[in-house]
Copies of this chain bind each other. A is one copy, B any other.
């Protein structure tokens, strides 16, 4: 009786989210209708909508599902033409027939994160209580919340155990959260270019981005939707600052150096004389066309709050316990945002609980974004580890060698 009345109370106090109109392709599901989702902040959420995409076919044993977790500004359109930008999906080179995550073998699920802006509940959706878009009234979300929502989607799809959870950067945080919180539901985990906690420098760069957005008068305290404007300038500056951190110094030097853009001499002015300036401005201006500024605030905050050890009295290994999950960690030598040392900390914690761990540091000058690029060694590690795990799992897959 008391649990029913509790649930009723939760339902009454629950934050309902009405999705903003969109005609995005793919699947949507309404969650938290019967039982609202309790967020890490203590608030309740529901009902709310989640948008996801799938590639490949789920086998009859439901044993070939791979959950791909997207990064900060990614979305569920991992392996198809993006419905807004028209560009290839962010893991188009990784997910597909005969690609490292072979859709002839695996059923791939990619879910837009909670707080996002591509169909899953976020700050640009409507608050039925106020009949306005949420803005900063949307509850703060965490990686734990993001993964709890993913778990509900996986349950809905009837999948008891994911064959694999993988993702890079913020995606890797979700992978670690999955392995820590739902180890029985994960066969293997591949966190790429990730960390078990956001560092002071990571938080610092995010804070610069947030302050840039909030400094834009068009942000209107998060209520820009009402004013029919968007904080383009602030979001663009935020993206520019972040984008520098995704690339290595040497890659920038190799790609741009001090080359001038469309001119033979310096302008002696503040135009984009250098190619790197022009490139960054382009990154900023294209980003604002596809991403909601408030979602950027919420997802950066979710990353800042991530600290897996903190939830276990500061002992990272305690986050994994006696896990049966098979891990493969991948880092990149020139990644200074999530350097190899962060992956090593996770490997040490997993070793301490005698978990099954592979760890590969890949030599590349591509920086953090290496996980989004064509890196042959990375691709072969990914497909190789998956093939080995598939054999252990008893999956029949086509070998690509």
Binding site for B on A (CB under 8 A): 40-42, 136, 139-140, 197-201, 203-205, 207-208, 210-212, 214-217, 233-234, 236-237, 240-241, 244, 247, 249, 252-253, 255-258, 266, 268-270, 272-274, 276-277, 280-281, 284, 297, 301, 304-305, 307, 310, 336, 339
**Contact call A304/B201, Cβ cutoff below 8 A:** no
A-side interface mostly = helix
The reply to whether B233 and A215 form a contact with Cβ atoms under 8 Å apart is: yes
A241 touches B41 (CB 8 A): no
Q: How far is the CA of A208 from the CA of B208 in the complex (A)?
A: 11
Cβ-defined contact, B200 with A253, below 8 A: yes
Copies in the complex: 2
Question: Do the beta carbons of A281 and B200 come within 8 Å of each other?
Answer: no
Please state if B41 and A268 are interface contacts (CB–CB under 8 Å): yes
Determine the distance from Cα of A234 to Cα of B238 in the docked complex, in whole angstroms. Answer: 12
- Of the candidates B136, B200, B240, B277, which one forms a contact with A270 in the assembled complex, judged by CB atoms under 8 Å apart? B136
Closest B residue by C-beta to A240 = B208
* Cβ-defined partner of A204 (8 Å) among B140, B211, B252, B310: B252
Distance of A221 from chain B, by nearest CB (Å)? 11
Residue from B215, B233, B270, B281 in contact with A297 in the complex, judged by beta carbons closer than 8 Å: B270
5 closest Cβ pairs, A-B complex: A215-B233, A200-B252, A41-B268, A140-B268, A200-B256
Instruction: Give A311 Cβ to nearest chain B Cβ, in Å.
Output: 12
* A233 contact set on B, CB distance < 8 A: 211, 215
- Chain B residues, CB < 8 A from A301: 270
